[in-house]
Amino acid sequence: MSDEVKEVVEGIGKAFEEFKATNDQRLSELEKKGTTDVVTEEKLQRIEADLDKFEDINQKLTAQASEAKSVNEKLDRLETIVKRPNASYEETEVKAEEKAFTKWLRKGKEGLDEMETKALAVSDDTSAGFLAPPEYVRELIKTVTEVSPLRNIARVRSTTLKSVQMPSRTATFSAVFVAEQGTRSETTGYTTQLEEIPTHELYALVDISEQQLEDSVFNVEAEMQEEFATQFAKAEGTAFISGNGVGKPEGILTNSNISTTNSGSGTALTADGLLTLVHSLKSEYGTQGSFIFNRTTLGAIRKLKDSAGQYVFQAGMMLTAGVPNTILGYPYAEMPDMPDVAGSAKPVAFGDFSRGYMIVDRVALSVLRDPFTQAASGNVRYVARRRVGGQVILAEAIATQTISA
């Protein structure tokens, strides 16, 4: 264990132990006096702020744990590419495309020679832009994933089409007892239907000054990539939670087929309510389940105890370096767009999101360079367009919790 990791592990362990002691004191004051001391509340808030500082690290650990599940597939794909005939030639072509793309971002089409223009792929729309090189798109998606946490736990698929079709199970065979030589009647069979998941257009604007573009030190490619990724991630993150499916992805909270349980209180979450939520799903989904909620809700959950007096929140890194924090033994992911705890709201969802929700990325990213719109301000405007879809594909794998008695 490195000194840095050791310091983090010790830090969160110490902070959580102090948090439990202070919260226990707060609960004792409430029981005895019906109110809490201001000093106790302020101390608890300071400790919660310290825990929040470690939460970003915890979310990265959760994402790494999810990504590790598919690492062998990624290695297999890499091995296939390396062994492919003409791999070195293709690599040279890719580098030429990336170089031409960066030059075009700075100087426009007029700044490209004939070979550089041929290296770029023209967009398939009417915007007269170019398609970003595959490596640029991969890095952008990687940044989007860091900002849009649902991608770490949902099923993600890439396509070159405007939509994909997925088989959706609607019924299964049912076993039936029968007497010896008895009549074996027809049983309900395994049936499926095709579920179409469309991709929806998403665009983002970035203005960069001409002076910055003329400065060779300024990394225009990286700057645009980060800005586009941040805008795309925020927009899709909201849609994955609350989108209505019309011109945008379908959100988890808007799907009417996902079941919900009550929290056991009209104003708050309860430990018993979270247990009910977990056990509302079939075991095949619960074993791979995880929670999603926003950071404000996490603060409320940290204070909950079960009937045995144990906190439902456990600091995983306190026990073993590299192990994420858990709620009732399950990992969780922060979703900023999940609602806060309030009457009738659904601030928490639980389930196997890799089976219940699919995200579809259309691999192409179109970029248009517009030197005219912001010319009076000395800026060049860039418009990036991509398509992304999202939809619940197995509602029984996910459940939500409603704040209700």
16: which 2 tokens?
């959580």
pLDDT at position 310, please? 92
Locus of tokens 């019309």? 246
Domain boundaries, the chain: 123-172+186-294+335-405
The pLDDT score that the predictor gives to residue 168 is: 66
Number of helices (H), then strands (E), in the chain: 13, 16
What is the C-alpha to C-alpha distance for residues 185 and 179, in angstroms, rounded to an integer?
A: 12
Is residue 202 helix, strand or coil? strand
For residue 167, the model assigns a pLDDT of 72
Low-confidence ranges of the chain (pLDDT < 50): 73, 77-78, 81-82, 87-90
Is the Cβ–Cβ distance between 302 and 341 less than 8 Å? no
Range 11-15 contact pairs with CB under 8 angstroms and sequence separation of 24 or more: 11/50, 11/54, 12/51, 12/54, 12/58, 12/315, 12/317, 12/318, 13/315, 13/317, 13/318, 15/47, 15/50, 15/51, 15/54
State how far the alpha carbon of 142 is from the alpha carbons of 64, 151, 294, 362, 367, in Å.
12, 10, 22, 14, 18
Per-residue pLDDT, 8: 65
HEC-encoded secondary structure of 81-128: HHHCCCHHHHHHHHHHHHHHHHHHHHHCHHHCCHHHHHHCEECCCCCC
314 beta partners: 326
User: How many CA atoms lie less than 13 Å away from 94 in the CB half-sphere?
Assistant: 10
Give the pLDDT confidence of 367-394 residue by residue, as tens digits: 999 999 999 999 999 999 999 999 999 9
Tokens standing for residue 168:
């959706």
Which pLDDT belongs to residue 110?
Answer: 87
Residue 398, pLDDT score: 97
DSSP state of 237: H
> What pLDDT shows up at residue 17?
86
Instruction: Tokens for 320, please give them.
Output: 């073993």
Packing angle, helices 87-107 and 71-83, rounded to 10: 100
DSSP 3-state of 313: strand
- What pLDDT is attached to residue 202? 94
The per-residue pLDDT for 81 is 43
Cα distances (Å, whole numbers) of residue 322 to 13, 53, 57, 325: 13, 16, 10, 10
Residue listed under structure tokens 């095709």:
194
pLDDT given at position 66: 60
- In angstroms, rounded to a whole number, what is the distance separating the alpha carbons of residues 311 and 308? 9
Q: What is the pLDDT of residue 180?
A: 82
Q: How many CB atoms lie within 10 A of CB 345?
A: 18
Q: 186 near 209, Cβ under 8 Å?
A: no
In the DSSP assignment, the letter for residue 325 is P
The per-residue pLDDT for range 37-60, each reduced to its tens digit, is: 888 888 888 888 878 777 777 777
Which pLDDT score is estimated for 59?
Answer: 72
> Which fold is adopted by the domain 123-172+186-294+335-405?
phage-related protein like fold (3.90.1690)
DSSP string for residues in 260-306: EEE-SSSSS--HHHHHHHHHTS-HHHHTT-EEEE-HHHHHHHTT-B-
